[in-house]
Amino acid sequence: MSPPIPVIAIDGPSASGKGTVAARVAATLGFHYLDSGALYRVTAHAARDRGIDLDDETALAALAAGLDLRFEAGEVWLDGAAVGDAIRTEEAGRGASAIAALPSVRTALLDLQRGFRRPPGLVTDGRDMGSVVFPDATLKVFLTASPEVRAERRYKQLIEKGFAANLAALVQDLRERDARDASRAAAPLRETADARRLDTSDLGIDQAVERVLDWYRAARGG
């Protein structure tokens, strides 16, 4: 029997830097990359475009199951159109967090996520990648940072993209989102017992990437 396709699962709260780290690790290793949070943001974005209420679980699950989605050249594509900027707004983030609590939506997206596991390997980030989607991942990382540091990072991202932002409001929003993600009944955000914890409050991106690469090489036996 051939060995399973390796997976590096990086979980953590919003704006912890896990997406940037995961993408860099994937590029270094030549692995595929899955931004699982984008799936929920895209679903919320598509629902608003189609006039679907974010509490209509049945309609949202049907929508999620039929998404025409791909990640390519650093961009997210939905129905053949680039939607990267549209799904990175705070409104899209709140919508994603709301629908991520719906069990039927999570179930609809589960097979889609697992389908990204292709040779030579996959690096994925989210909130339940190691606990639910890829419980047999080669390496599980729980990447976090303080709410204040995460809010400052998100503030800079939004300003750079030309969006209005308020730092104090972002801190409050992140605290509320953390509580919602950790307390939801369906696949809550949690640090699994076999995950390596990485606090990036005082680390740069390069340092965080190297730490994950070192852990992966150790997990693969060098």
pLDDT tens figures, 2-26: 678 999 999 999 888 899 999 999 9
- Is 92 within 8 Å of 54 (Cβ atoms)? no
Dihedral pair phi/psi, residue 136, rounded to 5°: -100, 20
Range of the domain at 205: 7-34+95-219
Q: Say how far apart CA 155 and CA 82 lie, in whole Å.
A: 23
| Better pLDDT: 212 or 86 | 212
109 is a domain residue: yes
89 is a domain residue: no
80 is a domain residue: no
25 is a domain residue: yes
Predicted local distance difference test score (pLDDT) of residue 189: 80
Percent of the chain past pLDDT 90, that is, above it, reads: 54
Would you say residue 72 has pLDDT above 80? no
Bridge partners (DSSP) of residue 11 are: 126, 142
54 is a domain residue: no
205 is a domain residue: yes
| Better pLDDT: 93 or 186 | 93
- Is 201 within 8 Å of 146 (Cβ atoms)? yes
**From residue 52, how far is each of 45, 48, 64 by CA, in Å?**
10, 6, 12
43 is a domain residue: no
Q: Residue 206: which CATH number?
A: 3.40.50.300
**pLDDT, tens digit (0-9, with 9 covering 90-100), for 98-126:** 898 898 998 999 988 998 999 999 999 99
Predicted local distance difference test score (pLDDT) of residue 180: 82
72 is a domain residue: no
Number of domains in the chain: 1
- Is 122 within 8 Å of 27 (Cβ atoms)? no
Reported pTM: 0.83
